Amino acid sequence: MAVHQLQPDHWVDNYADYLFNYAVARVSNAEIAKDLVQETFFAGLKSAKNYKGDAAERTWLIAILKRKVIDHYRKINSKKGKAEVRMGYSSSSDSDGDWMEERVADPFSTLENSPIENEELGMAIQECIAKLPKKQAKVFTMKTIQGISTEDICNELGINPSNLWVMIHRSRTALMGCLNQNWF
């Protein structure tokens, strides 16, 4: 496996949309999701010394974000948070410090990367995307899933960047509602 190096200067451009979509699907609130992504980037910077390069940057950041989501639910003391904490938190590695930032994310953890859960979520997302208006679905898929640049999407579809971001926002809002109804 190739050893990867962190490039924090590119995190926002390369991963912000992906991390935001992941977070908003789990917390159902765009503002909280934005905060969690920012906390993830900060935690990534803080724990960069622990990054061994065994996993890709995005995998490492998503593992940090998963723990941030768990912390969020633990803070608000919800039933979902308690269930996720029981599943993802090990008392054997507990410390009084910032255990989240001190631990290196394990991208191969079976608890955090359940193939069955990921497959079910993937199917739920695809079903929700299919319910979007055709152009919104295309823009969302191109930008968020395929990672095509804003400029290339605008050129291909004959739209301007403002229209693209309005469609992305509307898609995210609709997907969040659909996933809340069908997945959570």
Rank 86-90, 107-111, 153-157 by mean pLDDT and report only the highest.
153-157
What confidence tens digit (pLDDT) does each residue in 139-154 have?
A: 988 888 778 888 889 9
Distance CA 9, CA 12 (A): 8
Asked if residue 121 and residue 91 are part of one domain, the reply reads no
Q: The whole model's pTM is what?
A: 0.43
Residues 6+ apart with CB under 8 A from 103: 47, 50, 67, 93
Residue 133 has pLDDT above 90, yes or no: yes
Q: Same structural domain for residues 37 and 107?
A: yes
Domain boundary among 113, 141, 164: 113
Residue 3: pLDDT band with limits 50, 70, 90: low
Question: Are residues 50 and 17 part of one domain?
Answer: yes
Whether residues 142 and 102 fall in one domain: no
- 119 plus 70 within the same structural domain: no
Residue where a domain terminates, one of 97, 113, 129: 113
Tell me: do 12 and 31 sit in the same domain.
yes
50-66 confidence digits (pLDDT tens): 887 777 888 889 889 98
Phi, psi for 97 (deg, rounded to 5): -85, -160
pLDDT at 49 over 60: yes
pLDDT at 81 over 70: no
Helix (H) or strand (E) holding 124: helix 115-131
More confidently predicted of 69 and 109: 69
**Token code pair at residue 141:** 């898929």
Say how many domains are in the chain. Answer: 2
Domain that holds residue 108: 1-113
Asked if residue 118 has pLDDT above 70, the reply is: no
Token output for 127: 């079903």
Q: Are residues 70 and 103 in the same domain?
A: yes
Residue 147's closest CA among 30, 39, 21, 14? 14
Residues 140 and 171 in one domain: yes
One domain for residues 72 and 149: no
43 and 129 in a single domain? The answer is: no
What is the predicted pLDDT for the residue at 114?
54
Domain at 175, CATH number: 1.10.10.10
Question: Do 140 and 98 share a structural domain?
Answer: no
Q: Are 28 and 106 part of one and the same domain?
A: yes
